[in-house]
Structures are given as C-alpha cells and as structure tokens.
Amino acid sequence: MLVSELQNSRTTPERLEELIIQDPVLTYKLLRIVNSAAYSLIRRVESLSEAIVLLGMDQIRSWATMIALANRTSKPEEICRSLLLRGKMCEAIAASQGCHNNSSYFMTGVLSQLHVMLDIDQQTMLEQVPLGEDIESAIKDHAGAMGDILKHVTHYEAGDWDLLPNDIDIDAYEESYRAALDWSKDAMLSMSN
C-alpha cells in the first residue's frame, strides 16, 4: 500500500521519489502544490527530488499521503481541507514556540484524523501506517510537545475555549489559524486541478 510505504521512517528520498513517480497524477499534483502560492517559492521546482530537498521528507510524505487518499476516497473535500488546516496550524504554533522539526508537527496534525478518510478506526490506522513513536503517541494519547499542540489546536478549531490553558497565547493561535486557512485554500486549489 502506497500510504503505508510513504509513512515508513526508513524510506529514503530516492525510494520516496521512485514510489511517487510511478503515479503520474500524484507526481503532477505534488509538483503543482509545491509550486503554488501555498509555498511562495522564488523559483519553480521541476523535479520530485528537488521538491523533497526543499520541503523535506515529512512534508512530501504528508502531501503524497493526502493526495493519494483524496484521489481514492469519496469523502468530502472538506475533510482534506480540515486536515491540511490542522497540520499547518500545528506547524505554525510549533514554530512560534521555538520547537524543532516543525514539519513533524505538520504531519501530526494532518495524520490526526487520517482514519476518517480511510473509514477505519484510529487504532487500526495507527497499526497500518508506520509512524514515528512521537507522532503516534501525539495522535493517540496527546503525549509530548506534539500532543499538547495537537490537543490545543483541536480545541481551538472546535471553539472549545474553556479547554484551552489560561496561559495560551491566543493571538498566536488566531494568527496561525487565519494563515493556515488561507494556506489550505491555496493548497486545495492546487490539489484539485
């Protein structure tokens, strides 16, 4: 299964490129997204290997997973948009708090509701998709720094203000949410063409 292989932590950039390039539609959409307004790159990216170097393995994995699932499922596109928004917001909050490896926060947000797109329960999804232990425990138990941010972002999205900590930087969350909303719109436009 392509999605499982994409999440394999031992996959090399070369293997990732080899897998993705076998699907021309996936390749096309991935390059469209990388070159879209969502990333505002100075120059156009013309190969998957270049995209992997620029965005990193985690970002490419997340995008390829989302595109592959969106193409296979009859789920409303709003689910995909919501996951992208959550991922981008998690990444932005992590950056604002000075966390390292922000792309892992993006991946955690994007994959947090992946089971909804797959029509399976979360535990089955976690068993089928090999994830790093930190990402898996963040999704499953809201453990660690990634889990905290995921939990707070989820509460913010749902408007559960009373479940947010009192010392939360609400301005950072508001700014991250608005930026992620714009970014996810751009990304969805690129993905749908």
3-state SS of the chain? CHHHHHCCCCCCHHHHHHHHHCCHHHHHHHHHHHCCCCCCCCCCCCCHHHHHHHHCHHHHHHHHHHHHHHHHCCCCHHHHHHHHHHHHHHHHHHHHCCCCCHHHHHHHHHHCCHHHHHCCCHHHHHHHCCCCHHHHHHHHHCCHHHHHHHHHHHHHHHCCHHHCCCCCCHHHHHHHHHHHHHHHHHHHHHHHC
**pLDDT for 72 beyond 70:** no
pLDDT (mean) for 68-73: 66
Per CATH, which fold does 2-192 belong to? Hypothetical protein af1432 (1.10.3210)
What pLDDT digit, counting tens, does each position of 119-134 carry? 888 888 888 776 778 8
Distance CA 115, CA 135 (A): 15
**pLDDT for 154 beyond 90:** yes
pLDDT band at residue 167 using 50, 70 and 90 as cut-offs: very high
**pLDDT for 43 beyond 80:** no
Distance CA 94, CA 146 (A): 8
Entry pTM: 0.74
Per-residue pLDDT, 3: 65
Q: Max CA-CA distance within the chain?
A: 49
Per-residue pLDDT, 162: 93
**pLDDT for 172 beyond 70:** yes
